Structure 1
Amino acid sequence: MIDWFHGAVLGLVQGLTEFLPISSSAHLRVFSALLGWDDPGAAFTAVTQLGTESAVLIYFRRDIAAIVSTWARSLVRPALRQDPNARLGWFVIVGTLPIGLLGAAFQTTIESSLRDLRVIGTTLIVFGLILAVADRSRAIRHARPISALTLPHAIGYGLAQSLALIPGVSRSGGTISAGLLLGYSREAAARYSFLLAVPAVLASGTLELFKIGEGPAPAWGPTILATLIAFAIGYAAIAWFLKYISHHSFMPFVVYRVLLGVVLIALVSTGYLAPDAGTTG
């Protein structure tokens, strides 16, 4: 059972990890298992992400307002259809389709077997190494801005984001890796990653709201508290992360992911943790 204290702690974890390429869903799952708490579940994770996504809406409010406004006006004013903001609006829509379709198709699997700690440990390592390759690839030297985004690249971003349905992949990590491999700068890759997540996270969180307080899902009170804390911490995390990557590589996150994955697999292999520790299903 997730009580108020658990909710507060998990909200802090969500806020700290959502925008870093280390997987917030994996951390909520692993942190609970290590402390002997119940798995907060996919519904709790999705709803607390509404808090961190609200931080994105506020932090990027000018960008988002410009994109939505220009895109909407371009529907009736053809001259605006080549405007970078109008194009970005379409690209976000197209990039959201893969995660929406795959999320609906594999919802049961995502909420059950993919929360196995062995799966999470493996994805932390594998996708950490992919991020390392992407960060060190020659492609990043091209340093394309967001305005250079194309339809094929938007689809590539969207496919990468859909991998985040697997705990341990990381929504930001997957999409940033794709952006770097496609030749975008670290800042551009991260910025578009945050914008692309908005529709998917808001839709997922809204749908999962109806599950809170029912069955194995946590009660409303602790979930709301976690969401509010995630919002406050997440806002600060966005500002820090964007400033950090403008001068540093992603390698510290890679090392952290790999070490956490190795430790997690070792704990499960030695029997210290059960693969389904904390689950109620």
Structure 2
Amino acid sequence: MGDSMVTVAGGSVHVRQDGPPDAPVLVLVHGLAGSTRWWDAVVPALAASYRVVRVDLLGHGGSAKPAGDGYSIPDQGRRVGEVLNRLGVRRALVVAHSTGGYVATALTEQRNDLVTALVLVDTGPRLDAFISDGPVGQLLFVPVLGQLLWRARTDGILRRGLSTAVSRPGYRVPQGIVDDVRGMTYHSLTATSKAAEEYLGQRPLPERLADLGRPLLVIFGQQDRRWRSSSAADYRAVPGATVEVLPDVGHSPMLEDPQRTAALLLAFAAGHSGPATGSR
């Protein structure tokens, strides 16, 4: 358990594991410009009963940051599946935040045998639900300005970029999260963003999920400043989906209200997690 590097197609991937090694598996996938650290506040509660596997997507956190291809959402999903294979995980409940929700969906499309259920946390269901046009938009969608800001990327610039990720008054993003964003390359940031836009533009997420036949929990912060919280209702079109909209919480419930977020995850996992790691 602990931290390790797993070499798969496309580059090495940083993995963090917590909890009993033979317990049922929860896989946690971060969003754009995130890392395993985004889940730190909820892991202690989850790891009491589950083997918690956190993965840094390619281009993020401690994983490789290649200058070329490999950032498409299907590629990222396939890579997570390879990592789980190497770790001996046969069945898992996958929890994903924001852009990570597209990766988790792609993984389920590719490996329906692996994923027992899905939890999506503030993952936008369709392109026109996106509302952020502040510092994040400048970084991603105004190439010249974005590159200039990225070359500077002081703590102040990065914290302004992260400001739409958290709405809780007085919350200060941990320095480790800021450092992980700084450690990205501009290519890995923009390539991941473009890949997510392409994947979502091909087909709205609820349509994809409706075809997969997997239990689904959607958690959305009512004060989300990146995606319209009203769009969470789109997921009710997925048969059997449960949608929880949290008041006074923004785009990152696991940071802003970790206790309630962990409680929702544990309640859902109790009915939908896979068998213990050693079970077939």
What TM-score do you get using the length of structure 2 for normalisation? 0.27
Rg larger in structure: 1
- Tell which has more relative contact order, 1 or 2 (C-alpha 8 A, sep 6+): 1
Name the one with the larger helix percent.
Answer: 1
